[in-house]
Amino acid sequence: MSAVVVRQPRIADIEDYAMPELADGECLVRVLRAGLGPSDIHMFRGDYAKQHFPRIPGTDVLGIVETCAGSFSPVRRVLIPPTISCGSCTACLAGDEHLCLAPGLIGRERDGGMRPWMSVPAGLPVTAPDDVGDDTAVCIPDTAFALRLVGEAAAGIGGVTRRTEDAFLVVFGAGFLGVVASLAAAEQGFRPILVDVVQARLELAREMGVRDTCNPLRDFVGDQVHWITRRRYAEAAVVVSEDPEAVLTAASVLRPGGRLCLTGHHPDSSLPAARVVDSSIEVRGVRRTRTLYGEAAGFIRRHLTAYESLVSLRLEPSSMPQALELAAEDPKSYMKIICNME
């Protein structure tokens, strides 16, 4: 059995992998699919200062539980949520694992899913829906995150149940998360405005029904949002772009009292404090949780055609070292990359 292993920054290979030994309270999961996410690319490039190597990539994981000490029966298809709480910080000890101060991310602090088997805490796996195929089921965690982003943006302005076409949500970043968030925003009553410097991504989103897009290399974002919103600006903005300027720009396109949702994709950005205070902008940090998986599966069912286009590559493990190199050099050329581990 073989696994994709990053030995050191920008050096990946295929290596033999022995079946892990289970500790008390762990499940043995046979991996079916592993998704390559932005954190995997950052890990491969060595962007994290405290990153330890070697490391197995694969943030998103779909597999089958073979043996488990918990409540899951064998031969059940499951998703492995990408974050694992530490269990020992003040938040975890208080029962708020979703607010863990030191969460471990699969593929970064812990080995990811590009291996034939993995052991995980028994309470971690989430049952995958039977009617969603493997290639789309592995996208459920990212889809759930996008839905949560839209929900947090909507909560800041009274929810989406009363929203009309005139309620605007600006999404910065037209990668997988950004496009899904835009589709979800439209479905929930917002009029999304999608911003990205890659025109091909914007054109793909427009083919999927996102009517308003903006390329900062062609247009000044503030002017475009001002025109699209008929000089009202937007009620909310979501930043899933790694561009350090995106946070600054996002704050500038919000109307007074708007909500700005940040995701951690932009660690080197700084908030424009004067703008935030003067316009009473509410800033909300949003991170991944294991919630909304059921809603994400339903969203995927309604948008299967879009998901076919959102998956850029479906590869075997032997092709993943080269795929990591290509994605590290030009991440904007790819949406979702999936590794078939069967």
Average pLDDT for residues 216-227, to the nearest whole number?
A: 94
Most confident segment among 41-45, 81-85, 267-271: 41-45
User: What's the Cα-to-Cα distance from 204 to each of 27, 200, 219, 261, rounded to whole Å?
Assistant: 39, 6, 18, 24
230-237: average pLDDT: 92
For each of the domains in the chain, give its residue range(s) and CATH number, in order of start.
2-128+303-340 (3.90.180.10), 142-285 (3.40.50.720)
Whole-structure pTM value: 0.91
Rounded mean pLDDT, 203-231: 95
Tell which wins on pLDDT, 137 or 22.
137
- Which pLDDT score, from 0 to 100, does residue 158 have? 57
Encode pLDDT of 190-199 as tens digits: 999 999 999 9
What's the CA angle centered on 171, arms 143 and 142, to 5 degrees?
15
How confident is the model at residue 75, as a pLDDT? 67
pLDDT tier at 133, thresholds 50, 70, 90 = very high
Say what the pLDDT of residue 160 is.
Answer: 36
Q: Which position has the higher pLDDT, 38 or 316?
A: 316
Confidence of residue 322 (pLDDT cuts 50, 70, 90): very high
pLDDT value at residue 111: 94
Given a cut of 90, is residue 85 above it in pLDDT? no
pLDDT value of residue 130: 93
Weakest-pLDDT range from 96-100, 205-209, 259-263, 273-277: 96-100
163, pLDDT greater than 50: no
